[in-house]
Amino acid sequence: MPELPEVETVRAGLAQHLIGRNILTVTCHRQSLRYPLPDFTPLIDQQIVAVNRRSKYLLFVLDNDQTLVWHLGMTGQFHLLPGLSDSGLHEHVCIALSDGQSLRYRDARRFGYAGLIDSAALLVHPWFATLGPEPLSDDFSSDSLAAVCRGRKAPIKTVIMDAANVVGLGNIYAAESLFRAGIHPARAAGNISKKRLALLTDTIKQVLQEAIKAGGSTISDFVKVDGKPGYFSHSFQVYGRAGEPCLHCGKVIKRITQAGRSSFYCPSCQR
DNA sequence: AAGGTTACCTGCCCGC
DNA sequence: TGCGGGCAGGTAACCT
């Protein structure tokens, strides 16, 4: 699922169905995912008043001044099903709602995690305290990006994938943003002109916005009823295209490993 | 102490 | 057909 556009699309789809609903029961099929799951009993009889997002975290705001925080990890999915049918493969949590539907959490790799946090204390919680700006807000700007790049020898790709600097970018959108900005993923962050960082700031915002727009058509279906896979189908310019021709110049797209992840780039267009 | 590597988990795809 | 290896959209705990 989950880079920012996917999480945002899931958020929007869930908000539509969950706001105003009450939670009747919560059933867990295992005690922990990446971390131990919280005690869900405080959720019982609470109303969901908002479904928000910060970084890649979904925030279910309850009317008891607590927030159910959920991270999808790599493979986490939420599905809304009519009624309380049997749990499917890798389904770990089932939340029964007052409208007769049930919200199911499924996660094959179990890298996802959840917590129940006092809403007032959300921003000081360790998951949130160190997060950088939202990329689509004015807090993320050429100035803020330049500030975190200054003096850094780390590759620009790892800098923009570090949530302390800007949240929401994963392996795909980092690669696509750098391609559009013409910046080589391995270039030292501190060695990029202010002007080029300003361009990168713009391409990050563009790419994420376009992805949210495109994601709406596919992933919202997935949230709807019976959970069709609904994978985000976007035409990537470099991600996953190693060995294929660059759509801009025709040179062969390369793949390198950075921080244990694949990076894709055009050796001619990106410097 | 910044920067790099590894681990957490299951599934899938590819080559032998 | 079966099996092993490598890889997968995230995060954080380790090393150096």
Q: Is-catalytic flag, A244? A: no
Q: Is-catalytic flag, A110? A: no
3-state helix, strand and coil shares in percent for chain A, rounded to the nearest 5: 30, 25, 40
Residues 237-266 of A with CB under 7 A from strand B: 259-260
> Distance between CA atoms of A190 and A146, rounded to whole angstroms?
8
User: What pLDDT does A234 receive?
Assistant: 57
Parts of chain A belonging to CATH 3.20.190.10: 4-129
Q: What would be the CATH architecture of the domain defined by A142-230+237-265?
A: Orthogonal Bundle (1.10)
> Distance between CA atoms of A34 and A111, rounded to whole angstroms?
5
Exposure pattern of A238-255 as b/e (b: 16+ CB <10 Å)? bbebeeeebeeeeeebbe
> Quick count: other Cβ atoms within 10 Å of Cβ A98?
13
Chain C nucleotides covered by protein, CB below 7 Å: 7-12
Distance A63 CA to B9 C1' (A): 34
User: What pLDDT does A131 receive?
Assistant: 97
Chain B nucleotides covered by protein, CB below 7 Å: 2-11
Task: Answer whether A251's CB lies under 8 Å from A268's CB.
Answer: yes
CATH of A4-129, one of 3.40.640.10, 3.90.1150.10, 3.20.190.10, 3.40.50.2300: 3.20.190.10
Report if CB A168 to strand C is under 7 Å: no
Task: Return the ∠ at Cα A248 (arms to A247 and A252), rounded to 5°.
Answer: 60
- Run of H or E including A104: strand A101-107
Among A53, A56, A106, A254, the active-site one is A56
User: What pLDDT does A233 receive?
Assistant: 55
Report if CB A171 to strand C is under 7 Å: yes
Parts of chain A belonging to CATH 1.10.8.50: 142-230+237-265
User: What's CA A42's distance to the chain center, in Å?
Assistant: 26
Report if CB A163 to strand C is under 7 Å: yes
Q: Is-catalytic flag, A56? A: yes
User: What pLDDT does A87 receive?
Assistant: 87
Distance A259 CA to C16 C1' (A): 15
- Residues of chain A falling short of pLDDT 50: 216-217, 219-231
* Residue at shortest CA–C1' distance from C9: A2
Report if CB A109 to strand C is under 7 Å: yes
Report if CB A128 to strand B is under 7 Å: no
